[in-house]
A and B are shown apart, each in its own frame.
Chain A
């Protein structure tokens, strides 16, 4: 049974992956190119893929951060922004931009659109798939750019690089902080939870399910199973056959989710700094609640959006001040693995 069950599981996952790819192909017409500079992509370039909506004030630092890490081209899908962010993007020499008015939710939260772009442009490249409020850092990121990491991962025989999504928050009510475009968000969101994460292994997928952090602590104390998923696989050596399964938390084929070591050792991993709680989160939550475009059954998370709109204070005396990657590594939130 064991062997046969494995074969059957493999078959079902393959079918699932093929369905996801077909779905992406069907939806590729939902996005219209605003400006396509993908001719500039060279073999070996690290690429970044993102979907966004009204993130204009995050974009300057986002682009600066990833350019400094060595991302050579950004492929962005703008989902009906009305804050001018699309104009900012289209003006960048290393950005290709698509635009759509279609439903974010019906596109599996933008993944179908990105899936199509990844299939066309990502094959053979190390590809970052991130949101505009996610900044990837990893051990030595201040002295070793992404190509150093990807060269090394490739020599190690790795095709994916995992990360914990770490919610950053300010001290005091969420609406009292100020942030100007281009400012490093860690200057405003200077705190995080260092050690309240729970991990469960999803045996069918081989992926870890990490939850916890300030949102679980503050908003989901009574319903921890609904706490946000913090597992991320932001960096993958893409193959056109790969498919995102559940946002950027997990993908197929299943082996790519094996970003952890199960024999006691530590694989290399990073942290996605989550800048969700920058000022404006209250209005955004109210809008999300009414648009009903987000994760979970509609209505299920209304209380969460209400709580966010009320600008709570996530800070407490046990919060940890942000001090850079060395502290994150010492606290076991990321690891250099063998990358000394």
Chain B
């Protein structure tokens, strides 16, 4: 059965591995024609030929000098196919592979599988008008421009030639019958189709055209097959994924289980040093499994790696990922809550929040003397120190580190105008433009601790003026048009009118799955006399405005207020 399946193999490096694979294929009874790149030194070619001399059905075809993206690869495939079809008349299917391909299942299984799909050509062939996955920026232009310069060796000339032709509006004529299609160069065609392509009376005309197409090995057979095939199954029979730059993913020893479970027939490309893969898959095994190839697991594996390369992990800043401004794909790792003024108007707000919502509640993380971690730890998750000088050396990194290290657990912390702000309010700008941030601010609440502290009033007055100035700037930032955080601002007077409602809203956002209504809101601090304190500030010439219209004789809500 395997004798009806022939292989052509293109090799240019790792000839010893290619020889192993060739032997495996030939010993299964399949004829094989090898094209050795003309750049391979004669000695190496001879060694390869000698090592396979005992296999009568392994032949070598005339050699071409392969250069990536050029006609030579098509020429090599033509030579090899022509020789194979001529010398092995029993061959009904031709499978194109490279020296870096590895058969994952017995050749007989592949032959049997092909027999179950008679008259079908397996070749990825996608109309170039419909693709968006070509790499290198050229898709249709591959067919309508001229490419006199090698892409890899003469990149600059290559690019200028393209620019110039675009400028001049150069447009080559595509031969009438041809509709440009592209796809992987590793295919499996029927003798009938391949023969029709190779013996087409128009072939010299087509060849002349494709000689000047860019990367013709991805389009020659893929386009011509459309003229001759009876039934096209547009997919490559070889397992092989490409990364975001169009370079093939490489298989190593640790992919063995993935490859084994894929049930695919052939994979590329294999790292030549992957000894375990070669040993495992080239050990003769019992044929007879009719399992269908399942490449999806491997596809997902590489898709994840590509996503990590291209988009990275949100909120991660590290040695090989340091996104510039607005290139972060997520400034921080996870949603977090910033409370300004809450710890000032409620008694033990931290303890209350930690009890009602399943999240980590810190104090003022950016307090001037030290970082107030939950439980006032000296060193927090990830090794973050509570030292203010370490934190203030790079406050933004402090925040992103904390959020990265605590992924899976929501972080809440207190903030205020007395805290470290970073140069030019750097920290607040960062949070305000971060869609993960939930910032809730009760304006003017910083005055409560001042009022409760007592002491030298002139000093209090100066401090009040300073904090008010800072908080006004903070509010300005939070109201700027660039804001992406979820921001709520109340004046203190507004908030105290009915604290239960805003608290419930915040709670719902922090713990969306906790169905419970808040049973109890935290107790307010004693604000008796706060109105007079504000009046005294006014009397001393300072104008406290951020608290809103705070009544002189405060009508504090019932501290034991309970939700309905």
Across the interface, which residues of B come within 8 angstroms of A221, CB to CB?
385, 387, 389-390
Contact A340 B306 (CB under 8 A): yes
Contact B329 A264 (CB under 8 A): yes
Contact A264 B327 (CB under 8 A): yes
* Residue in chain B with minimal CB distance to A333: B318
A340 to B240, CA, bound (A): 13
Contacts A266-B309, A336-B305 given; does A260 touch B385 at CB 8 Å: no
* B313 contacts partner chain A, Cβ-Cβ < 8 Å: yes
Which residue of A201, A214, A222, A265 contacts B383 across the interface (Cβ within 8 Å)? A214
Contact A263 B324 (CB under 8 A): yes
Contact B254 A143 (CB under 8 A): yes
Most buried by A among B247, B328, B378, B390: B390
Contact B305 A162 (CB under 8 A): no
Contact A195 B319 (CB under 8 A): no
* A194 contacts partner chain B, Cβ-Cβ < 8 Å: yes
Contact B383 A319 (CB under 8 A): yes
User: How many pairs, one residue from A and one from B, have CB atoms within 8 Å of each other in the complex?
Assistant: 185
* Residue in chain B with minimal CB distance to A271: B319
* B507 contacts partner chain A, Cβ-Cβ < 8 Å: no
Contact with B along A148-163 (1 / 0, CB 8 A): 1001100110000011
Across the interface, which residues of A come within 8 angstroms of B271, CB to CB?
144, 148, 151-152
Across the interface, which residues of B come within 8 angstroms of A156, CB to CB?
245, 247
Contact B404 A338 (CB under 8 A): no
Which residue of A214, A335, A336 contacts B318 across the interface (Cβ within 8 Å)? A335
A198 to B404, CA, bound (A): 13
A195 to B383, CA, bound (A): 6
A333 shortest CB reach to chain B, Å: 7
Contact B319 A210 (CB under 8 A): yes
* A51 contacts partner chain B, Cβ-Cβ < 8 Å: no
Across the interface, which residues of B come within 8 angstroms of A263, CB to CB?
323-324, 327
Contacts A196-B383, A196-B385 given; does A144 touch B254 at CB 8 Å: yes
Contact with A along B502-535 (1 / 0, CB 8 A): 0000000000000000000000000000000000
* B429 contacts partner chain A, Cβ-Cβ < 8 Å: no
Contacts A318-B380, A340-B306 given; does A335 touch B327 at CB 8 Å: no
Contacts A143-B254, A147-B273, A266-B308 given; does A335 touch B320 at CB 8 Å: yes
A162 to B320, CA, bound (A): 7
* A213 contacts partner chain B, Cβ-Cβ < 8 Å: yes
B302 shortest CB reach to chain A, Å: 5
* A225 contacts partner chain B, Cβ-Cβ < 8 Å: yes
Which residue of B304, B316, B378, B383 contacts A194 across the interface (Cβ within 8 Å)? B383
Most buried by A among B311, B313, B384, B385: B385
Which residue of A200, A212, A337, A340 contacts B320 across the interface (Cβ within 8 Å)? A337
* B244 contacts partner chain A, Cβ-Cβ < 8 Å: yes
Contacts A152-B250, A224-B389, A333-B318 given; does A261 touch B404 at CB 8 Å: no
Across the interface, which residues of A come within 8 angstroms of B254, CB to CB?
140, 143-144
A149 to B397, CA, bound (A): 30
Across the interface, which residues of A come within 8 angstroms of B305, CB to CB?
336-340
Contact with A along B347-382 (1 / 0, CB 8 A): 000000000000000000000000000000111111
Which residue of B244, B324, B378, B382 contacts A195 across the interface (Cβ within 8 Å)? B382
Contacts A162-B320, A269-B318 given; does A340 touch B302 at CB 8 Å: yes
* A102 contacts partner chain B, Cβ-Cβ < 8 Å: no
Contact A213 B383 (CB under 8 A): yes
Which residue of A148, A220, A260, A337 contacts B322 across the interface (Cβ within 8 Å)? A260
Contact B322 A208 (CB under 8 A): yes
Most buried by B among A195, A208, A338, A340: A340
Contact with A along B241-281 (1 / 0, CB 8 A): 00111010110111000000000000000010110000000
* Residue in chain A with minimal CB distance to B387: A221
Contacts A194-B405, A217-B390 given; does A318 touch B320 at CB 8 Å: no
Across the interface, which residues of B come within 8 angstroms of A297, CB to CB?
none
B147 shortest CB reach to chain A, Å: 21
Contact A231 B377 (CB under 8 A): no
A318 to B405, CA, bound (A): 11
* A199 contacts partner chain B, Cβ-Cβ < 8 Å: yes
Q: Which B residues from 209 to 267 make CB contacts under 8 A with A?
A: 243-245, 247, 249-250, 252-254
B375 shortest CB reach to chain A, Å: 11
Q: Which A residues from 308 to 340 make CB contacts under 8 A with B?
A: 316-320, 331-340
A134 shortest CB reach to chain B, Å: 14
Contact A318 B377 (CB under 8 A): yes
* B321 contacts partner chain A, Cβ-Cβ < 8 Å: yes
Across the interface, which residues of B come within 8 angstroms of A97, CB to CB?
none
B183 shortest CB reach to chain A, Å: 21
Contacts A224-B393, A340-B305 given; does A267 touch B320 at CB 8 Å: yes
* B310 contacts partner chain A, Cβ-Cβ < 8 Å: yes
A212 to B404, CA, bound (A): 16
A152 to B253, CA, bound (A): 15
* B401 contacts partner chain A, Cβ-Cβ < 8 Å: yes
Which residue of B247, B302, B323, B379 contacts A262 across the interface (Cβ within 8 Å)? B323
Contact B243 A338 (CB under 8 A): yes
B224 shortest CB reach to chain A, Å: 30
* B160 contacts partner chain A, Cβ-Cβ < 8 Å: no
A157 shortest CB reach to chain B, Å: 8
Across the interface, which residues of B come within 8 angstroms of A200, CB to CB?
394
Across the interface, which residues of B come within 8 angstroms of A267, CB to CB?
309, 320-321
A283 shortest CB reach to chain B, Å: 27
Contact A193 B313 (CB under 8 A): no
A279 to B237, CA, bound (A): 57
Contact A332 B390 (CB under 8 A): no
Most buried by A among B301, B311, B322: B322
Most buried by B among A164, A214, A267: A267
Across the interface, which residues of A come within 8 angstroms of B380, CB to CB?
318
Across the interface, which residues of B come within 8 angstroms of A332, CB to CB?
313, 316, 318, 321, 404
* Residue in chain A with minimal CB distance to B322: A260
Most buried by B among A198, A216, A268: A198
Contact A262 B320 (CB under 8 A): no
Which residue of B273, B323, B383, B393 contacts A148 across the interface (Cβ within 8 Å)? B273
Contact B243 A318 (CB under 8 A): no
Across the interface, which residues of A come within 8 angstroms of B309, CB to CB?
261, 265-267, 337-338
Contact B323 A264 (CB under 8 A): yes
Across the interface, which residues of B come within 8 angstroms of A145, CB to CB?
273
Contact A318 B304 (CB under 8 A): no
Contacts A264-B329, A318-B383 given; does A195 touch B401 at CB 8 Å: yes
* B499 contacts partner chain A, Cβ-Cβ < 8 Å: no
Across the interface, which residues of B come within 8 angstroms of A340, CB to CB?
249, 301-302, 304-306
* B312 contacts partner chain A, Cβ-Cβ < 8 Å: yes
Contact B393 A225 (CB under 8 A): yes
Across the interface, which residues of A come within 8 angstroms of B379, CB to CB?
217, 316-318
Contact A140 B308 (CB under 8 A): no
Across the interface, which residues of B come within 8 angstroms of A316, CB to CB?
378-379, 383
* B206 contacts partner chain A, Cβ-Cβ < 8 Å: no
A214 to B14, CA, bound (A): 46
A217 to B380, CA, bound (A): 11
* Residue in chain A with minimal CB distance to B244: A338
* B430 contacts partner chain A, Cβ-Cβ < 8 Å: no
* A304 contacts partner chain B, Cβ-Cβ < 8 Å: no
Contact A265 B311 (CB under 8 A): yes
Across the interface, which residues of A come within 8 angstroms of B382, CB to CB?
193-196, 318, 320
The 10 sampled A-B contact pairs (Cβ below 8 Å) are A148-B250, A155-B250, A163-B319, A194-B383, A213-B383, A265-B309, A316-B379, A332-B321, A340-B302, A340-B305
A164-B319, A263-B324, A337-B320 given. 5 additional CB < 8 A pairs? A152-B271, A194-B405, A198-B397, A199-B319, A265-B309
Chain B residues close to A by CB (< 8 Å) = 243-245, 247, 249-250, 252-254, 271, 273-274, 301-302, 304-306, 308-313, 316-324, 327-329, 377-385, 387, 389-390, 393-394, 397-398, 401-402, 404-405
